[in-house]
Every structure is written in structure tokens, then in C-alpha cells.
């Protein structure tokens, strides 16, 4: 059943499922829908549940309850893992058949919005087939670099601020094009510049910290360009920042794995967007990987991956100092 609203041409079905790999973007889509449905704050007719904490039977019961002095109410269900193949640990017992019946029969007047923090739904499940057939399902894609830059400028313009192009490029680079990090850093930047109308490069350098992912990319860059001294110095900086050696090696291994896979797919003629979709990774990471591996030999990348495996075994089985193992690993490449 579709309902039409007086304010604008908003047409929504009684149940909507929003899903995507970036939780913040999925939540943002849900909030936009809630704001359209309830333009004025209405605590009596808005409920939010977490499926890891509340049984679906309770949520269904609320959805079937008559709204209070309103045409409808809105129910948001976060962490709706039940639509995925994930084995999520929870003490809550969900009655799947009750959910199947609800999806099949529910026609309002209330609105239910399920949020799924996953890139994929389990298409084999009856509830997924039903909700896709009878209701609205929205996949929220991660923003690529261009979309992120556009969103940043738009967000700043709404607050009568702007950002210089070199500052924008630096912000993207330091945050690794991570939406959550960018949101956090923008809040700090706005507080830092105060009444100043434009964010410039010096503001970015003064306030924005390099993300762990970008530090690891820089570390691999030092390694691949034979700048061993800089690599070891950065390694010690990360250790000083309380990063665990095993975690750092895992991130380095992941970076080289991305180098290897991206280069192979690029050689096969895949576009950056196709590679990102195939590898289920952020387009910005793919862009950096392709740029980095342009002159790298596949054999050398594979050799480094094998050294990563050997160093990982040493870290987990040897009594040697773990930082020393990582230093020797860097110097051996």
C-alpha cells in the first residue's frame, strides 16, 4: 500500500529496508526519511529499536498499534541483521515466521524502516524475497571521491562556509575518504575557524590527523620506494600511538593484497568503479592502489605478500620482540 503526503510528492510504502556497507550513510538515509515523515518532532509517534536487543515480536506489536493523535507513526529498526547471512551473537530470540507474516500482510498506516549495516542481503531468505517484492529496498552506496567532495562543499555552504580546493584534496587524502572521519573532522574544523568564512590548507594541516589507513598506506609507500628509514620511523610513531604490531602487519598485508588484486583486474580492463565493486572496497582505496602499482611488478608484490605471511607467523609464534620482528620485515623487503 502506498501513502501520499501533503508536503511534497513523497510516496513511501509501509515498510522500507535501507542497507549498505557504510553505517553512517545508511543511518543518514533513514534520518532523511524520518524527517520527511515527521517534519516536526513527535516523541509519541516515533520509536527506535535495535534488533540485537529487542525481539521482532515487540517491534511488530508497536507497528500494529494505533498512532496517538496522528495519521501514522514511524518505527526505525537498527541492526536488522536478520535480513543478512551474518551469524550475529544475541540473546534475543526472533520469531522469523512472525516477521514473514508481518512483511506479507502489513499495509500501514504506520511506517517501519529497517536498517541493515551490510553490503549484501541474503537473497535466499524468504523475508528478503518478500520485502523486495512488496516493499521498498534501498541500497546505500559508499560515496566516491567526487561525491564526497560535492557533499563536503554542500554541507559547508549550508553553514555559509567554503573550502579551498587544495584544502579539500588534503582533507580527502588524510581521512582516506572515510565518511565518518570526514564528518568528525569537519566538526572540529568549523569550531577551529570560528567566524572565518573559508577553510584553507593551513587549517587542515593544523587540525586534521592522518587516519590509520592512510598511515599504513604511507608506510607501504615508504617500503615500496625503498625509504626504509622513514618506514621504520613511521612504524615507531604508530607503535607509540598504541597500535598493535599484529594489527599493523595485518593492515600492511591487506594493502599489498589490494595492490595485487587491483593490478590484476586493472590489467584485465576493469574500471576503478568495477574493481571497487568486485573487491568490495572503497573506490578511493582502489584509485590509490592503481596509481601506486602502475610500475610495480606482480611478482614483487606477491613476494612481499609471502614475507607478510612469514612475519605474521613469527609474530604469533616467536618470543622475539614484536617491534623488532616488524623492523626486520621492513628491512628485508
Per residue in 272-304, pLDDT (tens digit) is 889 988 998 888 889 999 998 988 889 999 999
Each residue's pLDDT tens digit, 8-62: 444 578 899 999 988 999 999 999 999 999 888 778 889 999 999 999 999 999 9
Task: State the pLDDT at residue 7.
Answer: 40
Q: Kind of pairing, strands 74-78 and 11-13?
A: unpaired
Nearest by Cα to 162 from 196, 121, 194, 192: 196
Class of 212-332 per CATH? mainly alpha
Compute how many other C-beta atoms are within 10 angstroms of the C-beta atom of residue 23.
17
Reported as type and span, the H/E element at residue 190 is: helix 179-193
The separation between the first and the last C-alpha atoms of the chain, rounded to the nearest angstrom, is: 62
- On the question of pLDDT at 253 being above 50, the answer is yes
The domain segmentation of the chain, as residue ranges, is: 2-139, 145-207, 212-332
**Mean of all residue pLDDT scores within the chain:** 89
Q: Please name the helix (run of DSSP H) or strand (run of DSSP E) that holds residue 307, with its range, or none.
A: helix 298-317
pLDDT number for residue 11: 54
State mean pLDDT over 256-283: 91
For residues 235-259, b (16+ Cβ closer than 10 Å) or e, as one string? beebeeeebebeebbebbbbbbebb
> Could you tell me the maximum CA-CA distance found in the chain, to the nearest angstrom?
71
C-alpha cell recorded at residue 260: 595485487
Q: Identify the CATH assignment for 145-207 out of 1.10.8.60, 1.10.3720.10, 1.10.8.870, 1.10.260.40.
A: 1.10.8.60
State how far the Cα of 56 lies from the Cα of 44, in Å rounded to an integer.
20
**CA dist list (Å): 308 to 234, 300, 313:** 18, 12, 9
- Residues 309-329 have a mean pLDDT of 92
Domain spanning 2-139 has what CATH number? 3.40.50.300
Cβ-count burial 42-76 (b if 16+ within 10 Å, e if not): beebebebebeebbbeebbeebeeeeeeeebbbbb
* Grid cell locating 67: 498512532
pLDDT tens-digit readout, 123-173: 999 999 999 998 999 999 888 888 999 999 999 999 999 999 999 999 998
Amino acid at each position: 500500500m502506498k501513502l501520499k503526503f501533503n508536503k511534497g510528492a513523497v510516496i513511501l510504502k509501509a515498510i522500507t529496508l535501507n542497507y549498505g556497507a557504510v553505517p553512517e550513510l545508511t543511518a543518514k538515509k533513514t534520518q532523511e526519511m524520518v524527517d520527511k515523515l515527521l517534519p516536526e518532532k513527535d516523541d509519541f509517534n516515533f520509536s527506535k529499536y535495535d534488533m540485537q536487543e529487542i525481539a521482532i515480536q515487540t517491534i511488530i506489536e508497536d507497528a500494529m498499534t494505533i498512532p496517538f493523535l496522528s495519521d501514522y507513526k514511524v518505527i526505525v529498526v537498527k541492526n536488522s541483521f536478520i535480513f543478512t547471512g551474518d551469524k550475529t551473537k544475541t540473546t534475543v530470540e526472533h520469531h522469523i515466521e512472525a516477521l514473514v507474516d508481518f512483511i506479507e500482510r502489513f499495509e500501514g498506516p504506520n511506517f517501519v524502516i529497517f536498517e541493515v549495516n551490510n553490503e549484501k542481503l541474503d537473497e535466499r531468505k524468504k523475508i528478503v524475497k518478500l520485502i523486495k517484492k512488496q516493499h521498498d529496498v534501498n541500497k546505500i552506496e559508499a560515496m566516491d571521491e567526487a561525491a564526497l567532495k560535492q557533499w563536503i562543499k554542500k554541507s559547508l555552504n549550508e553553514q555559509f562556509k567554503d573550502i579551498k580546493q587544495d584544502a579539500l584534496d588534503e582533507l580527502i587524502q588524510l581521512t582516506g575518504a572515510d565518511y565518518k572521519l570526514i564528518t568528525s573532522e569537519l566538526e572540529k574544523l568549523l569550531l577551529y575557524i570560528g567566524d572565518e568564512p573559508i577553510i584553507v590548507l593551513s587549517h587542515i594541516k593544523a587540525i586534521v590527523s592522518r587516519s590509520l589507513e592512510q598511515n599504513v598506506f604511507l608506510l607501504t609507500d615508504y617500503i615500496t620506494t625503498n625509504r626504509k628509514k622513514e618506514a621504520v620511523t613511521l612504524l615507531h610513531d604508530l607503535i607509540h600511538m598504541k597500535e598493535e604490531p599484529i594489527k599493523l602487519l595485518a593492515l600492511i598485508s591487506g594493502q599489498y593484497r589490494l595492490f595485487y588484486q587491483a593490478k590484476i583486474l586493472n590489467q584485465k580492463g576493469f574500471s576503478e568503479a568495477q574493481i571497487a565493486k568486485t573487491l568490495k572496497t572503497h573506490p578511493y582505496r582502489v584509485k590509490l592502489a592503481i596509481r601506486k602499482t602502475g610500475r610495480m611488478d606482480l611478482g614483487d608484490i606477491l613476494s612481499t605478500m609471502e614475507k607478510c605471511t612469514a612475519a605474521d607467523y613469527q609474530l604469533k609464534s616467536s618470543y622475539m620482540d614484536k617491534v623488532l620482528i616488524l623492523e626486520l620485515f621492513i628491512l628485508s623487503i
